[in-house]
Structure 1
Amino acid sequence: MLANVSKNVFLHASQNRVLNKAAKKWGLRFGAGQVVAGDTIEGAMKKVRELNEKGLVCTLDHLGEFVSSREEATEATQYNVRTLEAMAANGVDCNLSVKMTQLGLDIDRSFCLDNMRRILDTAKQYNNFVRIDMEDYAHCQMTLDILRELRETYDNVGTVIQSYLFRAEQDVKDLKGVPLRLVKGAYQESPTVAFQNKEDVDKNYVRIIEEHLLNGSYTAIASHDHNIIDKVKEMVKKYNIPRTQFEFQMLYGFRSELQLSLVQEGYKVRVYVPFGKDWFGYFMRRLAERPQNVAFALKGFFSK
């Protein structure tokens, strides 16, 4: 009961525009520096190089919330382009993740699509890959519609499917051949569209992982749950799925020992590395997922 209350508090805070705006001025606080890799491209590059040296590959995400103007969306697009250029210049093993609301999805669909094309053109120039992050349920269908349109021209783009949504299994079937990151989901969704029980979410998660692997598609399993990871190991062994067809993904700052252990076992592990000044919403969602991390948040607050 207490855990649910705590989760709701953090999710509510993540959606608070006033707190998000204030956090941009605070700098990384409350322990956020443990899970956000700095607020500049240069700082992010340093972290990515350190992770690469440990045998981990990465995906960078320039954080952004509540974009409400074309100017903000254009600036975010340019920043993502510069991030791709910096990856190439630094020779790091790293992809890019983007949120389409940050690129103007809520402002104008065509405008957002043009911004996505600019980013994908840059990524293609450097032989890189771009992942479209999945946001809340309200943006799910429009995200998939734009993905399908982009896939007509670009093969270096994929997206994310959230197992807590009832529609997840059908979406995975419809997206056969598309590189997908499969996750449990981090937003607060209505019981009319999403499973509310962890056991149901986990069962559906394993189900969609198996579905995407067996249809021969590249699959990124994004989880810190060792039980899920063990089931995937058993699954790929049972079906003789090559390790070149999948990777494990984890968040920067979480379960670092497990990440390195998997690398030592010969698995590909990609670390999702968020960075930027707009860190507050992301950090609150991480606390909502793992309330036990409140301790380091408080420690980070009182150490300032």
Structure 2
Amino acid sequence: MSLKDVFLYLSENEVLNSAAQKYGLQLGAQSVVAGTNIDEVMESIKALNAQGISCTVDNLGEFVYDKEHALQAKDNILQVIERIHTEGVDAHISLKPSQLGQDIDEAFCYDNLYDIVKAAHAHGIFVNFDMENYARLHSSFTFMERLLEQFDNVGTVIQAYFFEAMDNLEKYKDVRLRIVKGAYKESADVAYQSKLDIDQNYVKLIEYHLLHGKFTSIATHDHNVIEHVKQFVAQHDIPKDQFEFQMLYGFRKEMQLQLAAEGYNFCTYLPFGNDWYGYFMRRLAERPQNVALVTNELLTKKTKTLLAVGAGAFILGRLSKK
């Protein structure tokens, strides 16, 4: 049993997710989310913009199984788009197709995505499709491909732990891409399992897209990867306007400011809303070292209790299967 397995189990536990929503602010959620409503996230955007940092905004949402909740999520995202436009801030949208009905009805989901992308396009705002587990991967790519037939403000994420990641990177090299390591538990049939293999493929993907791609968003908190990228772009005369570094809100704040001050494009990923728990657990699963980055701010006594209960449930579940 690995620490990653525990965090992934916690991210998929609806009971703990509901408890975290109810007591989010008391648990210290404000350390990892940029607000619980649109007004608060707009203030977070303005504060970061003032420090030379752009933002991508994610309206958090888990376990969307009915059209009512999907339509509510769409409405929230449309409101964010309108506020970005009217207030003239430097920000774009990140969204998950699953929150907009991907697991309910694909035609319904596409219609929701279309409305969002169309509204964003009218204001010159970019929309990034976040990627989730392998079961949703190819339908998410299909959504993007259909929308790219009419709009040019859509991009997506390539996850380095998938064997097919390089094929997808080459296929979509003319699309703005965010490159990540991957944060879900995937089968050995489709994904690398060792950290070394994932890390090596991650750097390989970054280098390829920097040399051949349209625009590269390098999403990492790993200072070793960041230093490697700095050296690589200098060696290959890659201009700074061809890429950006990305980190999550609340993580490595000093490094975010330092990179922006050094003249690199920097974008902070801003999740907002009460549904923060699954998102945060996946970030810890993706890189358990992230615990140390927010421990002092996030892990209140109540948070530790919630994590302990979840870990205990995970262990009992594993033992019951033996």
**TM-score of the two chains, using structure 2 as the length reference:** 0.89
Q: Confirm or deny: 8 A CA contact 1:251 1:272 kept in the other structure.
A: yes
The answer as to 2:136 corresponding to 1:135 is no
Report the residue type matching 2:264 in the other structure. Answer: Y
SS of the residue corresponding to residue 214 of structure 1 reads helix
**Cα distance, 1:186 vs structure 2:** 1.0
SS of the residue corresponding to residue 233 of structure 1 reads helix
SS of the residue corresponding to residue 95 of structure 1 reads strand
**Cα distance, 1:300 vs structure 2:** 5.8
| Residues 242-273 of structure 1, C-alpha deviations (whole Å, 9 max, x = no match) | 11111110100111111111111110000000
Identify unmatched segments of 5+ residues in structure 1: none
Q: Confirm or deny: 8 A CA contact 1:29 1:300 kept in the other structure.
A: no
The correspondence for 1:259, drawn from 256, 260, 263, is 256
What CA distance in whole angstroms lies between the structure 2 residues aligned with 1:36 and 1:253? Answer: 8
The correspondence for 1:186, drawn from 183, 186, 208, is 183
Report the residue type matching 1:298 in the other structure. Answer: L
Q: Confirm or deny: 8 A CA contact 1:97 1:133 kept in the other structure.
A: yes
What CA distance in whole angstroms lies between the structure 1 residues aligned with 2:123 and 2:55? Answer: 16
Report the residue type matching 1:132 in the other structure. Answer: F
Q: Confirm or deny: 8 A CA contact 1:32 1:283 kept in the other structure.
A: no
Q: How does 1:158-237 map to 2 (within 5 A)?
A: 158-237=155-234
The answer as to 2:82 corresponding to 1:81 is no
What CA distance in whole angstroms lies between the structure 2 residues aligned with 1:29 and 1:267? Answer: 35
**Cα distance, 1:35 vs structure 2:** 0.9
* Match of residue 18 from structure 1: 15
- Select between 291-300 and 35-44 the one with higher mean Cα deviation: 291-300
Q: Confirm or deny: 8 A CA contact 2:175 2:213 kept in the other structure.
A: no
Report the residue type matching 1:269 in the other structure. Answer: F
SS of the residue corresponding to residue 158 of structure 1 reads strand
SS of the residue corresponding to residue 267 of structure 1 reads coil
Report the residue type matching 2:83 in the other structure. Answer: A
**Cα distance, 1:219 vs structure 2:** 0.5
Report the residue type matching 1:263 in the other structure. Answer: A
Q: Confirm or deny: 8 A CA contact 2:218 2:244 kept in the other structure.
A: yes
**Cα distance, 1:235 vs structure 2:** 1.4
* Match of residue 248 from structure 1: 245
* Match of residue 302 from structure 2: 301
Q: Confirm or deny: 8 A CA contact 2:31 2:298 kept in the other structure.
A: no
Q: How does 1:40-79 map to 2 (within 5 A)?
A: 40-79=37-76
What CA distance in whole angstroms lies between the structure 1 residues aligned with 2:221 and 2:170? Answer: 24
What CA distance in whole angstroms lies between the structure 1 residues aligned with 2:120 and 2:303? Answer: 41
| Residues 96-125 of structure 1, C-alpha deviations (whole Å, 9 max, x = no match) | 100000000011111111101100111012
Q: Confirm or deny: 8 A CA contact 1:31 1:300 kept in the other structure.
A: no
Identify unmatched segments of 5+ residues in structure 2: 306-322
**Cα distance, 1:294 vs structure 2:** 5.2
Report the residue type matching 1:66 in the other structure. Answer: F
**Cα distance, 1:31 vs structure 2:** 2.8
Report the residue type matching 2:112 in the other structure. Answer: N
What CA distance in whole angstroms lies between the structure 2 residues aligned with 1:180 and 1:67? Answer: 25
Identity %: 49
Report the residue type matching 1:74 in the other structure. Answer: L
* Match of residue 153 from structure 1: 150
| 212 and 302 in structure 1: CA distance in 2 versus 1, 3 angstrom threshold | closer
Q: Confirm or deny: 8 A CA contact 2:117 2:127 kept in the other structure.
A: yes
Report the residue type matching 1:212 in the other structure. Answer: H
- Select between 15-24 and 181-190 the one with higher mean Cα deviation: 15-24
| Residues 270-304 of structure 1, C-alpha deviations (whole Å, 9 max, x = no match) | 00000011111112222333343556543263799
**Cα distance, 1:89 vs structure 2:** 2.1
Q: Confirm or deny: 8 A CA contact 2:20 2:27 kept in the other structure.
A: no
SS of the residue corresponding to residue 28 of structure 1 reads helix
- Select between 168-177 and 16-25 the one with higher mean Cα deviation: 16-25
